[in-house]
Amino acid sequence: MVDLDASTPQLKAVKDWVDAYRTLDIGNVEPLISKNFQFHTFPETTNIPKEAKERHIERYREMLSAVSKLEVRI
C-alpha cells in the first residue's frame, strides 16, 4: 500500500479519502462526500443515469460489503 505524506491540506484530504475507502466501509467515506455530489458514468453513450449522493452510497454499500469478503492470493 501507498502511504501519502499529508503535508498539505490537499494531500490530507486525499489521504483521508484513500484511508476511508481502504476500510471498505462506505460509512467512513460518506462524511467526505459533498452534500450535492453527483456520480457520472463515462462515456455518457452508455445511457447510465447520474446518481445523487444517497443512491451512490446505497449502491456502493452493497458492493463494498461483497468485496470485504474476498481474499486475494498469488
Number of domains in the chain: 1
Q: Is there a domain that residue 35 lies in?
A: yes
Do the Cβ atoms of 52 and 38 come closer than 8 Å?
Answer: yes
Compute the distance between CA of residue 74 and CA of residue 65 in angstroms, rounded to an integer: 23
Distances (CA, A) of 70 to 3, 7, 35, 63, 66: 23, 33, 31, 11, 7
**The pLDDT of residue 68:** 67
**The pLDDT of residue 46:** 74
Q: Is there a domain that residue 4 lies in?
A: no
Q: Is there a domain that residue 54 lies in?
A: yes
**The pLDDT of residue 1:** 55
Q: Is there a domain that residue 30 lies in?
A: yes
**The pLDDT of residue 19:** 86
C-alpha cell at 32: 467526505
- Full domain range(s) for residue 50: 9-67
Q: Is there a domain that residue 1 lies in?
A: no
Paired residues of 27 in beta bridges: none
pLDDT at 3 over 70: no
What's the predicted TM-score (pTM) here? 0.56
- How does pLDDT run across 18-74, given as a tens digit for each residue? 888 888 778 888 888 888 988 888 877 777 888 888 888 888 888 777 776 667 777
